[in-house]
Structure 1
């Protein structure tokens, strides 16, 4: 199979039905664990139609499409989107997103402090098993960065310590760097970040 005709674009409302199906089908996929809101909200709950609509309208869902089918997607949003959804699910006020965002001023990448204004939360990302190893993961992340560079300098993700596959993918293929290691509610996570401007000009 040739992958030269894979198209990368921003998701539209017409894609929501496919995205809902993929969220349900691949909720527990290993590569969806990086900063996955679904993992942090009510366990076993995928993103809803309302949430996907808001992400498409106000934030970014980048997709990879092959012959009309979505074969990969990645989400990035302002920190306020995640903390607002946590409040709606009535989770503890000391949510992981609030915990991470509060730590950001202590963290830096390439000598520059991270803030909720110059960074956004990244994840989840999913790539169809049939096209893994074909460069879709890397190209999705690069495309996402192009969409974000005007508004954000950095992407920030968290990955469970035991999710070795996701950690390897993000450090080796997405050029993310470890900026901290945290413990939250008896679980351990890597915090990773990367610049959205791959030219290093920001």
Structure 2
């Protein structure tokens, strides 16, 4: 049985990183990237822990093994991960100043657990665990990641803006 909670141990954070490594583009075939999706950012344990100390990452666990995660990234980390700086700039220009949001920094479900509602339940748990005063969850998805765009749309994410950074097209999306 799969349970959902906020990560609370170093071992859970390390398991997130293992799952992340398995789903980085360089570790997947082009067919897998197209059909299964991929994650973009590679985190260090230090950054992952620092982010989690502010707002615990959401994990799906089965038999003491992390089988899915949704990383919580407080906007105060806007300058911590270089590849995400343009996203925060775009978010700030796309929303009203009075909107308090949490960024879902990355979501990933183990191949063995896809199509079982884990994605939806990770977001549901994240909504339930948002710190008081936060109105919405915002994230961005690589325009080439069609599986992720479709999955986010299916649970109610709406596009705030689309922008280009480098050679990539990014979709900034919001869940109310």
Which 5+ residue runs of structure 1 have no aligned equivalent?
39-45, 87-94, 196-202
Provide the residue aligned with 2:29 in structure 1.
Answer: none
Distance 1:152 1:48 in 2: 26
| Correspondence list, 1:98-113, <5 A | 99-108=86-95, 113=96
Q: Does 1:22 align with 2:10?
A: no
Distance 2:89 2:110 in 1: 34
Provide the residue aligned with 1:132 in structure 2.
Answer: 114
Name the CA shift for 1:16/1:191 in 2 (closer, same or farther; >3 Å): closer
Distance 1:96 1:55 in 2: 14
Are the counterparts in 2 of residues 158 and 191 from structure 1 also a CA contact under 8 Å? yes
1:108-127 Cα shifts (integer Å, max 9, x gaps): 4xxxx266x61122131111
Distance 2:110 2:130 in 1: 24
TM-score, normalised by the number of residues in structure 1: 0.73
**Off by >4 Å, runs of 4+ in structure 1:** 29-32
| Correspondence list, 1:44-193, <5 A | 46-86=42-82, 96-97=84-85, 99-108=86-95, 113=96, 118-148=100-130, 150-173=132-155, 175-193=156-174
Distance 2:172 2:3 in 1: 30
Distance apart, 1:106 and its partner CA: 4.0
TM-score, normalised by the number of residues in structure 2: 0.82
Are the counterparts in 1 of residues 163 and 170 from structure 2 also a CA contact under 8 Å? yes
RMSD (Å) for aligned C-alpha atoms: 2.2
1:60-99 Cα shifts (integer Å, max 9, x gaps): 310001111111011121122141232xxxxxxxx652x3
Structure with larger Rg: 1
Provide the residue aligned with 1:200 in structure 2.
Answer: none
Distance apart, 1:47 and its partner CA: 1.2
Are the counterparts in 2 of residues 104 and 114 from structure 1 also a CA contact under 8 Å? no
SS at the partner of 1:83?
A: coil
Distance 1:150 1:32 in 2: 31
SS at the partner of 1:15?
A: helix
Give the count of matched residue pairs.
166
Name the CA shift for 1:81/1:121 in 2 (closer, same or farther; >3 Å): same
Distance apart, 1:17 and its partner CA: 2.6
